[in-house]
Amino acid sequence: MGKNKFSLRSSHYLYFTLISLILVGLIFSLLLVSTKTAPLVALFFSINITGFFLMGYDKNAAHHNRSRVPELIILTIALLGGSPAILLAVHTFRHKTLKARFQLGLLLYFIIQLFIIRTLGISFRELIGM
């Protein structure tokens, strides 16, 4: 009997989901313990740092024919607030630059997040905790 592709794919998604959650949790904890950062700000930075790291890992994995980060994981992180860092990573690492649909989705997430922040009346200084 052959291997079930669905279970292999599911475990791949689970693996990168767990790595993402662990990274966000570790960075969040470090920010809260080492700085006087507000929890929401620490969470925002944690998600963005994780997104940037995963994009860098995925670029490296693509060059070395290793296990790649699923786009769904990257887009989920972007949707949860990591779109600024992932957009930055696209240009920093020159990764996924030919995927117009992917970049359009990231840009759309970013614009929606800016709109929500602006609608809630949160200034940039409040967002970064200044």
Following DSSP, what letter does each residue of 42-104 receive, concatenated?
HHHHHHHHHHHHHHHHHHHHHHTT-PPPPHHHHHHHIIIIIHHHHHHHHHHTT-STT-HHHHH
Which pLDDT belongs to residue 53?
96
Contact present, 83 and 113 (Cβ < 8 Å) = yes
Which pLDDT belongs to residue 77?
95
Residues of the chain with pLDDT > 90: what percent? 48
pLDDT value at 117 more than 90: no
Domain ranges of the chain: 5-127
pTM above 0.75, yes or no: yes
Which pLDDT belongs to residue 109?
92
Separation of alpha carbons 96 and 59, rounded Å: 8
- Side chain identity, residue 17: T
Which pLDDT belongs to residue 22?
94
- Average pLDDT for residues 6-14, to the nearest whole number? 68
Contact present, 98 and 45 (Cβ < 8 Å) = no
Separation of alpha carbons 84 and 77, rounded Å: 11
Which pLDDT belongs to residue 56?
92
Between the alpha carbon of residue 12 and those of residues 19, 31, 52, the distances in Å are 11, 29, 19
The full length of the chain comes to 130
